[in-house]
Structure 1
Amino acid sequence: MIDSLTAILHAWLIAPFDYAFMTRALVAGMALSLAAPPLGVFLMLRGMSLIGDAMSHAILPGVALGFLMAGFSLPAMSLGGMLSGLTVAILAGSVSQLTGHREDSAMASFFLISLAAGVMLVSLGGSSVDLTHVLFGSILAVDSTALLLIAAISSLIVVTLAVIFRALVVECLDPLFLRGQGVRGGLIHGVFLGLVVLNLTAGFQTLGTLMAVGLMMLPATTARFWSKRLEGLIVLAVVIALVASTGGLLLSYHLGLPSGPSIILLAGLAYLLSALFGRHHSLTARLRRRAAPLAASRNECP
């Protein structure tokens, strides 16, 4: 009985990763799962959750230009996406400062322009298959070069976050205090947006430009239902992302499902379950709070 159970678990959980393409996909998913969720937590705390989605579309024109110039060359497409994302972030910030419009509205305008321009460029220079690959990615097609680039970018993000962590927390909670300490909040904000662009650039090869933000934001918003402490949010978000990326790959392998959507939908399922049964701000938590005064009043009655 134990041997048969062990064999079943091995066949379902271990054997799929005997293949090199599955191993590369797993390592890429784990690297992104370590780097993306902390960025998502800070985006959520800063009220910039939709900025991440906007930035994921902002990298599309650069990715498309890299594709047109060098084909499916990840370094060229990543460099183009990075430059495009940073350009859109700078333009949106400049328009916000010069016109007084909110930064999120300026970012939304630029991301729509970027999305249309990117789709147009890919459509003009390639087939519908090329467009699908750029928009939705393919984590199972990650090669050694892509894996090294993803690992390098994820490592850079984690190290940079560790260096600016304290300043980033203070900038979220009390920007005036940070300015009083001689640290420019705009610099910290710019570095943070740069890290977001870097992460999205690393993630488009695996999840595509449309879903790269999913591994960043869904684990972060899910963790909010279980913890109120920053450290708890980050740790839980990373764990949720790791489970979603690994579980999504296994579901993709065993059921023949698309790998990227499987990962994001598994993270989405965790979000829905947390919204129903989480410790904080969930439907169950609200019902418990409403029932507590009623129970107390019944106990006080003679």
Structure 2
Amino acid sequence: MTTFNLLVAPFLEFGFMRRALIGCLALSLSGAPIGVFLVLRRMSLMGDVMSHAILPGAAVGFLLSGFSLFAMTLGGVVAGLAVALAAGFISRTTPLKEDASFASFYLVSLGLGVLIVSLKGSNVDLLHVLFGNVLALDDPAIYLIASIATVTFLAFAVVYRLLVAECFDPGFLRSVGGAGGAVHFLFLVLVVLNLVGGFNALGTLMVVGLIILPAASSRFWSESIGGQIIAAALIAVVSSYVGLVVSYHVAVPTSPAIILTAGAIHALSLLLGRHGSFLRQMLRAQHLRG
């Protein structure tokens, strides 16, 4: 098998492969800055919680309209924002911390979502909701993911500096004008939108992997936030492409192939990255001993 047949031919011959690649690329580019800021804020697990928080809303949309893109997307957005607001309210009005609030909603949301899907659908439908079907992306789904990516780019262009400031010193924005709460809420909205967009491709259990794993890996390749965003985007794009190629040729599920590729890149970054990797620590230790 030639290199062309291995790496390029599947995307030239089959429209579903091209649509899958376009959808994953759009999600990779918009999810990269989201993931970097989640990691910087030490909110990585919150991304996983929010990916499950959208499940009951998407499941209600499925219960009412089947696999309707509009119904499941609207339900996911409403459910995700409701959980984010409820968890924030509980953490501010009770002794329960925000991470514990999110964890509680995570468990309830996962159980409720699975129950709702099971009421109408089969095991195949449940697997589709949980793990997605990136090879079945149609034009409306791609338009949705591309629109979410565009909104994410525009939002970051406007509030990037405020997000950086709120990330490292939340009290500063509150002291100079009270914008911290608004910036934090806008960031949560972007998180929910990207999770909902990715849910249509990778499912609720896998979508957060394409957001968090590249972001975590990027910290081993760059020390600046801008550099980490670029590195995370590149890693996500490579993971998507390689995962699709492996899935096509080896006949394995696509979403796990993409996430496992991102996981392999993360392992390599941990071992060989330019900043803080095991290799760098070993070289530094040898230099100090010398």
- Please report the TM-score for the alignment, with normalisation by the length of structure 1: 0.94
The farther-off stretch of 274-283 and 119-128 is 274-283
Q: Give the counterpart of 2:25 among 26, 30, 34.
A: 30
Aligned to 2:88: 93
- Counterparts of residues 210-225 of structure 1 (less than 5 Å): 210-225=205-220
Aligned-pair CA distance for 1:176: 2.6
SS in 2 for 1:210: coil
Q: Distance in 2 between matches of 1:248 and 1:82?
A: 27
- Counterparts of residues 13-52 of structure 1 (less than 5 Å): 13-18=7-12, 19-52=14-47
Aligned to 2:100: 105
- Counterparts of residues 114-129 of structure 1 (less than 5 Å): 114-129=109-124
SS in 1 for 2:220: coil
Deviation string, structure 1 residues 56-103 (Cα, Å, up to 9, x no partner): 000000010000101011111011001000000011001000103211
1:227 aligns with 2:242: no
Q: Give the counterpart of 2:129 among 131, 134, 137.
A: 134
Aligned-pair CA distance for 1:268: 0.3
Q: Distance in 1 between matches of 2:268 and 2:9?
A: 29
Tell me the amino acid that sits aligned with residue 14 of structure 1: V
- Counterparts of residues 153-232 of structure 1 (less than 5 Å): 153-232=148-227
1:265 aligns with 2:260: yes
Q: Distance in 1 between matches of 2:104 and 2:284?
A: 41
The farther-off stretch of 136-145 and 277-286 is 277-286
Aligned-pair CA distance for 1:9: 2.2
The farther-off stretch of 190-199 and 145-154 is 145-154
Deviation string, structure 1 residues 26-81 (Cα, Å, up to 9, x no partner): 10001001100110000111111110000000000001000010101111101100
Tell me the amino acid that sits aligned with residue 163 of structure 2: L
Tell me the amino acid that sits aligned with residue 10 of structure 1: F
Aligned to 1:299: none
Q: Distance in 1 between matches of 2:76 and 2:169?
A: 32
Aligned-pair CA distance for 1:183: 4.3
Tell me the amino acid that sits aligned with residue 259 of structure 2: I
1:149 aligns with 2:182: no
4+ residue runs over 6 A deviation: none
Q: Distance in 2 between matches of 1:146 and 1:234?
A: 25
Q: Distance in 1 between matches of 2:81 and 2:222?
A: 32
Q: Distance in 2 between matches of 1:176 and 1:97?
A: 15
Q: Distance in 1 between matches of 2:107 and 2:172?
A: 35
Q: Number of aligned pairs?
A: 289
RMSD across aligned positions (CA):
1.1
Q: Distance in 1 between matches of 2:72 and 2:223?
A: 38
Aligned-pair CA distance for 1:294: 1.0
SS in 2 for 1:100: coil
**Alignment gaps of 5+ in structure 1:** 1-6, 296-302
Q: Distance in 2 between matches of 1:288 and 1:113?
A: 47
- Please report the TM-score for the alignment, with normalisation by the length of structure 2: 0.97
Q: Distance in 2 between matches of 1:281 and 1:90?
A: 36
Aligned-pair CA distance for 1:212: 0.7
Aligned-pair CA distance for 1:181: 3.0
Between structure 1 and structure 2, the one with the greater Rg is 1
Q: Distance in 1 between matches of 2:178 and 2:3?
A: 53
Aligned to 1:284: 279
Aligned to 1:298: none
Aligned-pair CA distance for 1:254: 1.1
Q: Distance in 2 between matches of 1:39 and 1:222?
A: 14
Q: Distance in 1 between matches of 2:105 and 2:170?
A: 26
Q: Distance in 2 between matches of 1:105 and 1:281?
A: 30
